[in-house]
A and B are shown apart, each in its own frame.
Chain A
Amino acid sequence: MTARIGVVTFPGSLDDRDTQRAIRVAGAEPVALWHKDKDLKQVDAVVLCGGFSYGDYLRAGAIARFSPVMDTVIDQAKAGLPVLGICNGFQILTEAHLLPGGMLGNDHLHFICRDQKLRVENADTAWTTDYTAGQEIHIPLKNMDGRYVADRRTLDELEAEGRVAFRYMVRGEAADGYGNPNGSLNDIAGITNAAGNVVGLMPHPEHAVESLIGTGRTDGLPFFTSILKKLVTA
């Protein structure tokens, strides 16, 4: 048996088909979900993929958060459904208050696309068990509004509870993907909720699952094998 993982398409979603492919590469079954449809088709987990839902108009993720499908995603996430938000998906998760904080425009005011060096800080979430804590990985990053911000108390809480899941690695050559690419506070690239079932990050693991494609690295695959293992052995 394998796991069925849903990928939501909002108007303006871009990486839906890529995410479905990554799920397939990991050995799970991708299920296409439509934003106007509240039905999650009994999937075992959901990915909110990258893109510019509703053109990022108003604020990235702010409109998509009100799509009918999100009512169900929010309810079920609170009940333990594993949810991964990638880039625009992360933005939607913060707008939906499933994850704390929010995203502002990159501090350098440009879109940035690069192979980013990250450190895995929390390898105990539903989406990260195939990593080890402290592992250093390269994951492609591409965004306009990627600067993670939160108030001091929230940041302290995230740090204290080990809920910073991924951090940008800043000490090293820019050519090798080091550096905080957008001005995120505490170099935060991704976070998890307290229960560890909802994870959001700005970099794109679905773009790093095949050795021939993109950067040629496969450091993103463990996201999808982690969840598959969890679901299949559960």
Chain B
Amino acid sequence: MSKTPSRLPPPPDTEALRAAPSRLDTVEHAAATPDVELPWAELGLKKDEYERVVEILGRRPTGAELAMYSVMWSEHCSYKSSKVHLRQFGEKAPESEALLVGIGENAGVVDVGQGYAVTFKVESHNHPSYVEPYQGAATGVGGIVRDIIAMGARPVAVVDPLRFGAADHPDTKRVLPGVVAGIGGYGNCLGLPNIGGEVVFDACYQGNPLVNAGAIGVMRHEDIHLAKASGAGNKVILYGARTGGDGIGGASILASETFTDTSAADAAGAKPSKRPAVQVGDPFQEKLLIECTLEAFAEKLVVGIQDLGAAGLSCATSELASNGSGGMRVTLDDVPLRDSTLSPEEILMSESQERMCAVVEPEKVDRFLEICDKWDVIATVIGEVTDGDRLEIYWHGGKIVDVDPRTVAHDGPVYERPYARPSWQDELQADDANKLARPETSEELKGQVLKLVGSPNQASKQWITQQYDHFVQGNTVLAQPEDSGMIRIDEASGLGVAIATDGNGRYAKLDPYTGAQLALAEAYRNVATTGAKPLAVSDCLNFGSPEDPAVMWQFAEAVRGLADGCQQLGTPVTGGNVSLYNQTGEAAIHPTPVVAVLGVIDDVARRTPVAFQEDGQLLYLLGDTREEFGGSAWSQVVHDHLGGLPPKVDLERERLLGEVLISASRDGMIDSAHDLSDGGLVQAVVESALLGEKGARLVVPDGLDAFTFLFSESAGRAVVAVPRSEELRFNDMCGARGLPATRIGVVDGDTIEVQGEFTLPLAELREAHEGTIPALLA
């Protein structure tokens, strides 16, 4: 474990708050002193936002109220720029019997059958991970896991979609190892298998790495818990870590603004001012929190529950109160502190990790505290649910907050940000990748294959993934580099769930609407490839500054694409996260919607792995291959090019392909399968071969040239290995359902041979594929 001082100096803005009133700034005092100037701008509020707070309260806010509004109305917490677009996920939501809890709670919940419910969500921890890679990434895992616990579920797995600057950039060597160690250091210590995710390199993420973290939890239907405080007289219990000065203003200051300095190298040393806004994690404390919370759930002691993440106590108290039937009274003096000098504003804004807030009936409080004590978890009654509809917070006997909690938690500002298709979009799309110079000889083709599979984005990520525990909990059926991670949730029946996360910023940059649908299609396909039926979606939408109309257009298009796509595929969006301001100066990241698809499989014994299983099995290519190279890995690796149009999306075809893959798995017609995405067919075949330690002989099908066959990134495709005894049945099924299935070769030997073109020994491919990342980062 890396050790970080638990007490960090407060950032300058809160010092302004401390200095403001010389006496306790109570509600009464605020009413009597309307002319006191408050540091609303330093806390990230705009002038009109501050004026609205004054209007809502009918007086100036107290310092504590201002602290609450400023963090809760931040972009990160209020979704003020994205809300008007996100509504489509609800409006276009497909009918789904599986959806038990939708958008708006800590995480969505899906029915997976046999009385089980599964909750899952993906979130971002991008900005903190750039400033302090280890703690930023670690607390990203911690936050998403608490969201899962707060729904009543036992967390069973995590996934981590990651994006970094160029693989050979010196700062990547600072950020990536720190992020990976942070994810491992936290997740491994919690006992959660890390089963999936992505690692992508692109210069556009240089100053804005994307550290997204996803988690899955499992519970019985009756165990679902919600974040609401109901029943006057019920006690509000804060439990977990003590509250310290770390992470103050993380949501408002760090996550909701653009980095202004453009020098990436500066970030490590020259920006200490934002360092205290990053929280510090203690995974051991979180592990205790998981066990103690689940024990309290099991004894039915909890009426409502909320984790403390962004905006800390401000968020937990205002959300619990506004979702419940009554009001809430909290005595801030009772909050256990790590630092006794903290001001009430700082206590309300602190984002100290590993804390949760539960609402418990008075007669069950003793038992709840007993369970916390068993696990050595500090638990304190800090308030109670009241009859009224006000959230009242007291400090040293004075009332320092008296607000309608809804105005804090739900009635934040909503912006209709202007958006416009960027002027450069046409030019970008006209720069057709299909016109790039293609290999002219077999030798050149072979060279490009080696170059592709050894390029940082296409290379094996084993150096990274072997720093994560995949085995803990003893239910991991599949983990990366499989197409989706798969976890058994019932030992007797073999019921399991699968999850895949995908995103391709290059596609989305060329066309955000299509790019978002391609991310959805790929994740959907990855789940189906392993034999699971896709059920629901979570997303993490990573974009630049919403104040730039071009970025806002990308965002609007991506959301529209994803909402339309989910409607068509019948997979509702159950929740997710928006991360804006991922830009340094004028340069925004590629629009990067990351989509997680959750699927269910009746019996994990039927799962289909990526690795080739047996010599002699027949390789079939499912789907249509077109000349589609826009945004492709080939265009990036060979030509350093980004232009043209991304591959076409046909969601009906994706659905059909999914059905065929699931049926084939259920009926034992295929022994391995791999989806085709970035890098095309050759990438998929090389991965299956290296994982299975078995080669393949490939024949270029009629109507295709070898180059297009190997490198095209047409969507809606997969390669499957069919045992000879199943060939007839498999062909019949594809024919009957109308899915093109082309026999392209056979699993055989210890080389990849493309007939009439070249032969590459597996050993040479392995060296290229597995040597790249350690050479860059180890």
Contacts and interface: CB of A to CB of B under 8 A. Distances in A.
Interface of A: 11-12, 14-15, 17-18, 21-22, 36, 50-52, 54-57, 108, 110-114, 140, 142, 144, 175, 204, 206-207, 210, 212-215
B182 to A, nearest CB: 11
A57 B474 contact: no
B283 A142 contact: no
B283 A204 contact: no
Interface in B187-243: 188-191
Contacts of A17: 473-474
Interface residues on B, range: 35 or more
A210 B494 CA distance: 12
Given A12-B287, A57-B1, A212 B488 contact: yes
Nearest to B690: A175
B469 A142 contact: yes
B466 interface: yes
Interface string B598-625: 0000001100000000000000000000
A213 B475 contact: yes
A227 to B, nearest CB: 18
Q: 7 tightest A-B contacts by CB? A: A55-B284, A14-B191, A18-B474, A207-B471, A52-B189, A111-B467, A111-B184
B468 interface: yes
Main secondary structure of the interface of B (DSSP, over half): mixed
A45 to B, nearest CB: 20
A147 B420 CA distance: 58
B472 A15 contact: yes
B612 to A, nearest CB: 15
Interface string B456-471: 0000000001111111
Given A12-B189, A112-B466, A18 B284 contact: no
The listed residue with most B CB atoms (<10 A of its CB), out of A50, A142, A175, is A142
A113 B467 contact: yes
A127 B6 CA distance: 43
Nearest to B189: A52
Given A11-B284, A110-B467, A212-B605, A56 B473 contact: no
Contacts of B770: 175
A110 B181 contact: yes
B31 interface: no
Given A12-B189, A112-B467, A213 B476 contact: yes
A215 B466 CA distance: 13
Interface string B57-73: 00000000000000000
Nearest to A112: B466
A144 B188 CA distance: 10
Contacts of A54: 284
B284 A113 contact: no
A52 B471 CA distance: 15
A142 B491 CA distance: 23
Contacts of A52: 188-189, 283-284, 287
Nearest to A174: B770
The listed residue with most A CB atoms (<10 A of its CB), out of B287, B469, B474, B770, is B474
B393 to A, nearest CB: 32
A56 B185 CA distance: 11
Contacts of B76: none
B360 to A, nearest CB: 22
Interface string B750-778: 00000000000000001000100000001
B619 to A, nearest CB: 22
Contacts of B778: 108
B375 interface: yes
B477 A213 contact: yes
B288 interface: yes
Contacts of B190: 14
A55 B471 contact: no
A140 B288 contact: no
Given A108-B778, A113-B465, A213-B475, 12 more contacts: A11-B375, A14-B189, A18-B474, A21-B491, A36-B374, A51-B191, A52-B189, A55-B285, A111-B467, A113-B470, A207-B472, A214-B470
B472 A14 contact: yes
Interface string B471-498: 1111111000000000010010000000
Nearest to A110: B467
20 contacts: A11-B288, A12-B284, A51-B191, A56-B189, A56-B284, A57-B284, A108-B778, A110-B184, A111-B467, A111-B469, A112-B467, A113-B466, A113-B469, A142-B469, A204-B471, A212-B477, A212-B605, A213-B475, A213-B476, A214-B471
A111 B188 contact: yes
Contacts of A210: 474
B1 A213 contact: no
A86 to B, nearest CB: 12
